[in-house]
């Protein structure tokens, strides 16, 4: 099984065929960043139409069993998710409503401050909101929507981990201590403290080859990426390491500006260096094969490689996508 825990590609038949060629079992696909509930529901509806129109290549990803069915049928399961909690509009009822519509993962924050907490562009003086943020965590725990802290700042990440009664995901980030400071979006990566706490709570971190956060940036090699996997396994254990590319093929300058500034700024708060090419070896997901092969040659067992490639995400999805037992 091969799971990519975060992509934001422009959906098209070409992308779906690339996933099929790469034998990707499941992709966590972003449907919202700054959008409100109505805008997001339109995007969810578009994905539902795409699933129907491309049923030979795609399937739903609402449960772990959906991923198993996709693997059996040679299709890619689509797990819908948010990179922000903006679609909930500070209304807890919308958490269950979007879960019913098929959304299974949501970040508490994107890069900035919101009602739930603080994003990674903010200072660490602000954390999880003791009112809405804590209640949002509880509601997501209850309905079976996986909490993602990939873009949260340090304090919000740690406080969300403390507040959550269920495992919390880091779908697409890298260990800051390994990658270092010499990458464009270094503040996007996670401290060893956060990664260890996430693992203690049963979570999984999706390591990313996104050049703005990957070791050695645009020049990241397969070997360096595998070095990072080995570091993270040593740090938090093989049960808690997965993959999350943050791949965004097909998106143009307009989308990049939207991600960086939304409607709340006249210009990007963090400079945009323009679209960045992913490493040639990654090649739209086909690079996972050399990564997994390199891990085997480095001494990882077949079972460990299976865990990293998708087994750990499957375990987390099995538990996290269903409603919590009623007290």
Mean pLDDT of 137-141: 98
Averaged pLDDT, 126-139: 97
Q: Are 189 and 176 in contact (CB under 8 A)?
A: yes
Report the C-alpha gap between 252 and 117 in whole angstroms.
29
The whole-number pLDDT of residue 250 equals 61
pLDDT at 326 over 80: no
Residue 132, pLDDT above cutoff 80: yes
Q: How far apart are CA 162 and CA 164, in angstroms?
A: 6
Residue closest to 61 by CA, chosen among 249, 287, 255, 310: 310
* Tens of pLDDT, residues 147-198: 999 999 999 999 999 999 999 999 999 999 999 999 989 999 999 999 999 9
Per-residue pLDDT band at 259 (split at 50, 70, 90) = low
> Over the chain, what is the mean pLDDT?
94
Top-confidence residue, 97 or 327: 97
24 close to 2: Cβ distance less than 8 angstroms: yes
Asked whether the predicted pLDDT for residue 274 surpasses 90, the reply is no
- Band of the pLDDT at 265, cuts 50, 70, 90? confident
- In sequence order, the β-bridge partners of residue 247 are 7
What pLDDT is stored for residue 211 in this prediction? Answer: 93
In which band, very low, low, confident or very high, does the pLDDT at 264 lie, cut at 50, 70 and 90?
Answer: confident
Confidence tier at 85 by pLDDT (50, 70, 90) = very high
CA 20 to CA 57: how far, in whole Å?
Answer: 7
101-105, 188-192, 252-256: range with lowest mean pLDDT: 252-256
**Domains defined for the chain, CATH in brackets:** 3-320 (3.20.20.140)
């Amino acid at each position: 099984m091969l799971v990519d825990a975060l992509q934001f590609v422009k959906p098209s038949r070409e992308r779906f065929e690339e996933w099929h060629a790469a034998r990707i079992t499941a992709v966590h696909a972003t449907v919202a960043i700054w959008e409100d509930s109505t805008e997001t529901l339109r995007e969810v509806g578009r994905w539902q139409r795409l699933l129907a129109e491309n049923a030979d290549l795609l399937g739903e990803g609402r449960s772990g069993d959906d991923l198993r069915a996709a693997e059996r049928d040679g299709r890619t399961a689509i797990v819908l998710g948010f990179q922000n909690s903006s679609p909930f509009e500070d209304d807890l009822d919308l958490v269950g409503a979007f879960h019913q519509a098929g959304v299974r993962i949501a970040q508490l924050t994107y890069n900035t401050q919101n009602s739930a907490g603080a994003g990674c562009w903010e200072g660490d003086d602000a954390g999880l909101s003791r009112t809405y943020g804590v209640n949002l965590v509880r509601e997501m725990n209850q309905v079976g929507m996986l909490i993602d802290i990939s873009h949260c700042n340090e304090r919000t990440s740690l406080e969300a981990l403390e507040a959550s009664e269920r495992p919390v995901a880091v779908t697409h980030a890298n260990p800051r201590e390994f990658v270092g400071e010499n990458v464009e979006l270094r503040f996007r990566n996670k401290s060893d403290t956060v990664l260890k706490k996430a693992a203690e709570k049963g979570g999984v971190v999706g390591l990313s080859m996104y050049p703005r956060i990957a070791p050695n940036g645009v020049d990241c090699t397969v070997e360096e990426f595998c070095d990072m996997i080995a570091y993270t396994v040593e740090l938090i254990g093989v049960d808690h390491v997965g993959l999350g590319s943050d791949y965004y093929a097909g998106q143009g300058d307009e989308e990049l500006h939207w991600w960086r500034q939304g409607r709340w700024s006249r210009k990007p708060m963090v400079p945009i260096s323009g679209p960045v090419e992913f490493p040639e070896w990654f090649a739209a997901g086909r690079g996972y094969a050399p990564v997994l092969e390199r891990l085997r040659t480095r001494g990882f067992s077949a079972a460990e490689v299976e865990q990293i490639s998708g087994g750990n995400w499957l375990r987390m999805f099995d538990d996290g996508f269903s409603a919590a037992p009623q007290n």
